[in-house]
Structure 1
Amino acid sequence: MEGAKTLKVMAEAFKELAEKINQCPDGEEARLELVPFSRACSLVSPLFRCLGIAFKFAELDYVAKVNDLVEASKSISVLPLMMDGDIETDCVRKAGSHTRNLLRVKRGIDMVKVLFEHIISSEGNSLKDPASKAYTQVFAPYHGWAIRKAVAAGMYALPTKAQLLNKLNEDETSARIQMQNYVLSANAVVKYVDQLFNSRELGIDW
Structure 2
Amino acid sequence: MAGTDNDKPLTKISESFKELAATVNSQAADVELAAFSRACSYVSPLFGCLGIAFKFAEMDYVAKVDDLAEASKSILTLQSVIDRDIEGNCVRKAGSHTRNLLRVKRGLDMVRVLFEQILAAEYVYQHVIVSLIFLF
State the TM-score, normalized to the length of structure 1. 0.57
Deviation string 1:53-88 (CA, Å, 9 cap, x unpaired) is: 111111000000000000000000001111110111
- Of 1, 17, 21, 1:18 maps to 21
Describe the SS at the equivalent of 1:120: helix
The alpha-carbon deviation at position 102 of structure 1 amounts to 0.2
Deviation string 1:165-206 (CA, Å, 9 cap, x unpaired) is: 27x615xxxxxxxxxxxxxxxxxxxxxxxxxxxxxxxxxxxx
Q: Structure 1 CA distance, aligned partners of 2:37 and 2:102?
A: 13
Alignment of 1:28-177 (within 5 A): 31-125=30-124, 161=128, 165=132, 169-170=135-136
Q: Structure 1 CA distance, aligned partners of 2:94 and 2:12?
A: 31
Deviation string 1:66-114 (CA, Å, 9 cap, x unpaired) is: 0000000000000111111011111111111000000000011111111
Describe the SS at the equivalent of 2:50: helix
Alignment partner, residue 131 of structure 1: none
The alpha-carbon deviation at position 123 of structure 1 amounts to 2.8
Percentage identity across paired residues of the two chains: 62
Gaps in structure 2 of 5+ consecutive residues: none
The alpha-carbon deviation at position 125 of structure 1 amounts to 4.2
The alpha-carbon deviation at position 124 of structure 1 amounts to 2.5
Deviation string 1:101-153 (CA, Å, 9 cap, x unpaired) is: 00000011111111222122123349xxxxxxxxxxxxxxxxxxxxxxxxxxx
Describe the SS at the equivalent of 1:124: coil
The alpha-carbon deviation at position 41 of structure 1 amounts to 0.4
Describe the SS at the equivalent of 1:38: helix
Q: Structure 2 CA distance, aligned partners of 1:53 and 1:14?
A: 26
Q: Runs (4+) of structure 1 moved beyond 3 Å?
A: none
Alignment partner, residue 183 of structure 1: none
Q: Structure 2 CA distance, aligned partners of 1:115 and 1:50?
A: 12
Alignment partner, residue 8 of structure 1: 11
Gaps in structure 1 of 5+ consecutive residues: 127-160, 171-206
Describe the SS at the equivalent of 2:48: helix
